[in-house]
Structure 1
């Protein structure tokens, strides 16, 4: 999810498409939150790991 967010940020920046930029930021933040929760050992949504 983090990698997809970074890709959308880059594509949105290069192509000057604001919606891709916004979606990229949202995916990056959500991916970082899931990464932090998973790293602390807390189950998120009933899953211990998100692949």
Structure 2
């Protein structure tokens, strides 16, 4: 009976370790995707502001 409890605890510990590493990897990946996406957004906004029309828009 003792070894069944110890075995179940080891299996549960291994499952938590695997799940934790996968979740940690996904969180890191999402952080990097957000950083890259923000940089691309800021770059495209700056490019659009620089290359925008030189003359102001007029109402017809």
If each structure's helix is expressed as a fraction of its own residues, which one has the higher value? 2
Q: TM-score, structure 1 length as denominator?
A: 0.49
Q: Which has the larger radius of gyration?
A: 2
Structure-2-length-normalised TM-score = 0.42
Q: With a CA cutoff of 8 Å and minimum separation of 6, indicate the structure with the bigger relative contact order.
A: 1
